[in-house]
Amino acid sequence: MQKHGTEVTAKWYRFSDYTILEDAWSPKAPPEMADHYRFIRPSPNARLEVYRPTVVPAGDVLPGDKASDPIVAVNLEALQELDLEDENAILAWCRKFGLLGILPHTTISIRLAPRWLKGPGVDPPGHLLFPTQMQYFRTNTGWKAIEVSKLVGKEECRIEVDEEYPYDDWYDRIVEPGDTSLRSGAVVTPLFSDHYEEMELERAIGRYFPSIPPETRAAAKYPMPGSTDFWYQYGESVAQFRHAVRGFKNAVEQLKNIGSLSDAPADALRSLSQGHAQFQSLLSASPDIFVEPDGSFSPQWGFSSLLAMFALSIWQYLIGGKSIRHCKQARCRKIFVNKQHNQDYCSKKCRRTDEKARQRRQIAEARRLYHQGIPIEEIAELLETGLQQISKWVERTVEGQWRIR
C-alpha cells in the first residue's frame, strides 16, 4: 500500500448489522423524550468485526490494499453526508463505522460495586472472602482492568466461610457499603466539556446498557470498555448519537477561519475559543505500534473513540494549513474544508446554483433596463456583460415571449 504522510490507521469495532431497540425497562417516555430510550444496538446474530479505519483528510483518496479490504476513511465528509433525521441512514452508517464510542470517550475510570471474593494471593479453596472491586482505567493504549481487595482498615470486614456463612451464598455477593471503604462509581467528562466529575454507576454507565434492568444498574457487572462482552451489551441511544454528531460538527464549525485574531470581532473570538476547547476535548490520540507478520513495526494510533478519530482527521486539516469554511451558497451553508485557496463553495453543485442565480438576476435586470428604453450597448456596459449575451437575453419571440427563461 502506498504510504502517505497523513495516513493514520487505528482499530475500531463494528457489527455486521444494527437495529434500533426500545429500552424495555423504561417507563413510557413522553414523545419528545422517546429517542433517549431507543438504542442503536447490534441486530441478533450480527457479527462483531475489528476493522482498521483510516483517518485521512477529505479528498485525499487512498488506494485500497485489495478489493476485499476497502478503506474506511474517517473524515468530515463521512459525517456531513449522514442525514441524522433518517434512522435507516444512521444504521447504515453504523454498519460502516460502528458506534461513536461515547462511553469510552467520556469515561476515565469505572469502579464496579465491590463483591465478596477470595481476594488476591489467597489460595483456593480459601475459607475467607474479602470485599473485592473490579476497576477499569482508560490508558493511552486501551482499557485496563485491575482487581482490588480491601484486606485491612477499620471499615473492612471479612467473611469466614462456614456452615453459618455458606460459600455459595456469599461468594460474588455484593458487599454492603457499611462493610467496606470501597465505593463504586465512575469518573466522567461529559462530551465537549473539560469538566471531570465523579458519578454513580447507574447514571454514568448504566444508561448505555439498555438490557440491564434499572434496579440492578447500580451494582451490575459491567464489562470492561473495549472488550468483546462490552460491544455485545453496549448501545447508544438515538438521541445520544445525534447529540454527539451535531455537537462535533458544531465544534468544527466554530473553528472556521476568522483571519487575523487582532482584527476579529469579539463574538468571533469567543466562538473560536469555545470551538477550540470543545475540539480539544475530542482529541485523544496516542501513538501506538503494530507488529506486522514479518516482524517489522508499523505505526498505529490508539484512540478512545471513533469521535476521537474524526477529531484527528480535522486536526490534520488544520495543521496542514487548510481551513474550515462555510459554503457561500445561502441554502447550503455547510461547513467544509477548503482544499484550494479562495474556494467559496462546498461543491461544484453549490457553485453552479449560485452562478445560475446570479445569471437569473442579471437577465431580469437586463430586461428591466431594456424595457426602460436603454440601448443594449449601454446595458452591456452597465452589467459588464457581452453585447451578444444581452441581446440574447432581451430578444423576444414573435408572440412576445422572452426567448430565454
Count, residues near Zn ion per rule CB under 5 A? 6
In Å, how far are 126, 379, 383, 388 from 369, measured between CA atoms? 100, 7, 10, 16
Our finding on whether 346 is near Zn ion (CB under 5 A) is yes
In Å, how far are 62, 66, 287 from 2, measured between CA atoms? 8, 12, 20
Q: How far is the CB of 81 from Zn ion (least distance, A)?
A: 12
Looking at the Cβ atoms of 116 and 336, the one nearer to Zn ion is 336
How many Cα atoms are found within 13 Å in the side-chain-facing hemisphere of 82? 25
Burial classification of residue 138, based on how many CB atoms lie within 10 Å of its CB (0-12 exposed, 13-18 middle, 19 or more buried): buried
Each as own residue / partner, the long-range contacts of residues 169-173 (CB below 8 Å, 24 or more positions apart, any chain) are 170/116, 170/129, 171/116, 171/117, 171/118, 171/129, 172/115, 172/116, 172/117, 173/115, 173/116
Looking at the Cβ atoms of 80 and 391, the one nearer to Zn ion is 80
The count of residues in the chain is 405
Q: How far is the CB of 83 from Zn ion (least distance, A)?
A: 15
Q: How far is the CB of 326 from Zn ion (least distance, A)?
A: 9
φ/ψ region of 212 (left if φ > 0, alpha if ψ in -120 to 50, else beta) reads beta
Q: Which stretch binds Zn ion (CB under 5 A): 77-85, 211-219, 324-332, 375-383?
A: 324-332
Q: How far is the CB of 347 from Zn ion (least distance, A)?
A: 5
Whether residue 125 has a cis bond before it, omega within 30° of 0: yes
Looking at the Cβ atoms of 158 and 328, the one nearer to Zn ion is 328
Q: How far is the CB of 325 from Zn ion (least distance, A)?
A: 10
Q: Are 251 and 192 in contact (CB under 8 A)?
A: yes
Our finding on whether 350 is near Zn ion (CB under 5 A) is yes
Looking at the Cβ atoms of 344 and 395, the one nearer to Zn ion is 344
Q: Which stretch binds Zn ion (CB under 5 A): 45-53, 171-179, 282-290, 348-356?
A: 348-356
Q: Which stretch binds Zn ion (CB under 5 A): 19-27, 52-60, 115-123, 323-331?
A: 323-331
Enumerate residues 6+ apart whose C-beta is below 8 A from 27: none
Q: How far is the CB of 255 from Zn ion (least distance, A)?
A: 18
Looking at the Cβ atoms of 78 and 332, the one nearer to Zn ion is 332
Our finding on whether 327 is near Zn ion (CB under 5 A) is yes
Looking at the Cβ atoms of 8 and 335, the one nearer to Zn ion is 335
Our finding on whether 102 is near Zn ion (CB under 5 A) is no
Looking at the Cβ atoms of 205 and 327, the one nearer to Zn ion is 327
DSSP track, 114-173: PEEE--TTPPSS-SEEEEEEEEEEEETTEEEEEEEE--SSTT---EE-SSSS-HHHHTTP
Q: How far is the CB of 345 from Zn ion (least distance, A)?
A: 5
Written as nine digits, the cell of 363 is 437577465
Which listed residue (145, 277, 318, 332) binds Zn ion by CB under 5 A?
A: 332
Our finding on whether 329 is near Zn ion (CB under 5 A) is yes
Looking at the Cβ atoms of 20 and 332, the one nearer to Zn ion is 332
Q: How far is the CB of 349 from Zn ion (least distance, A)?
A: 7
Q: Are 229 and 209 in contact (CB under 8 A)?
A: no
Residues that bind Zn ion (CB under 5 A): 327, 329, 332, 334, 346, 350
